[in-house]
Amino acid sequence: MSTENTVNSQIVDSVSAASTLLVGQGPAQSFSMLDMVLLETLGTGMHNAVARQQGASMVSNAAVTAACAKMINAPWPVPPPAPEPPPPPPPQVIPLPGPVPAPPSPAAVIAAATAEGKTAISVLQAQTHGATADAAAANASLHTLEQLAGNGTAPAPDPAPDSTPGPDPAAGPVQDSAPDSTPHPSADGADAPA
């Protein structure tokens, strides 16, 4: 160490002490610098990892949200509409009765009766040429029609006379011809001989 009483010696001592201090503290400072850089690197890496994790969660959340939105926007299956009920039967309409027809005139009635009579007579005349029983019935019907046309109404047939002769009212009461078998007592009260 230099003497204390010179300026140069003091300066040299101060410089040497500072150099020695710097040389002694250099490794410690460099290691501390390395530690700081390491910590900053680890912090940055952790921050990047957390940011990446948050970004991935945001992407997954966005994907889930998009899928839910598509599911919500998708049309739900609509059930087919119910078949229409059959139409009700038409109401029953009862027609109103028409006007009462006017009775035919007497001339029309006479003409219709005449035509029916002519038709009946022609049919009966045609049936007279058939079988024996049918011809007899047709002749009888024609005879009946002739009687109705001639007399207006057929007279009632007279009742057949009774074949058994009745009692004569002029002859008086009828006497019983059978003898009386009951015995009568005599007038004198005598008994009849045995």
User: 148: domain range?
Assistant: 106-153
**Structural domain includes residue 136:** yes
**Structural domain includes residue 111:** yes
**Structural domain includes residue 46:** yes
Q: Are residues 63 and 125 in the same domain?
A: no
pLDDT of 17 over the 60 cut: yes
pLDDT value of position 6: 59
pLDDT of 106 over the 50 cut: yes
**Structural domain includes residue 40:** yes
pLDDT of 187 over the 70 cut: no
**Structural domain includes residue 65:** yes
Q: What per-residue string of b and e applies to 48-78 under the rule 16 or more CB within 10 Å gives b? A: eeeeeeeeeeeeeeeeeeeeeeeeeeeeeee
Rounded distance, CA 41 to CA 34, Å?
Answer: 10
pLDDT value of position 37: 84
pLDDT value of position 143: 82
Q: Which residue has the higher pLDDT, 189 or 135?
A: 135
pLDDT value of position 51: 92
User: How confident is residue 50, by pLDDT bands cut at 50, 70 and 90?
Assistant: very high
pLDDT of 189 over the 60 cut: no
**Structural domain includes residue 174:** no
**Whether the model pTM is above 0.75:** no
pLDDT value of position 127: 79
The closest of 159, 158, 125, 156 to 143, measured between CA atoms, is 125
Contacts of 135 (CB under 8 A, 6+ apart): 127, 128, 129
pLDDT value of position 7: 57
* Structural domain total, the chain: 2
Contacts of 172 (CB under 8 A, 6+ apart): none
**Residue ending a domain, choose from 24, 57, 74:** 74
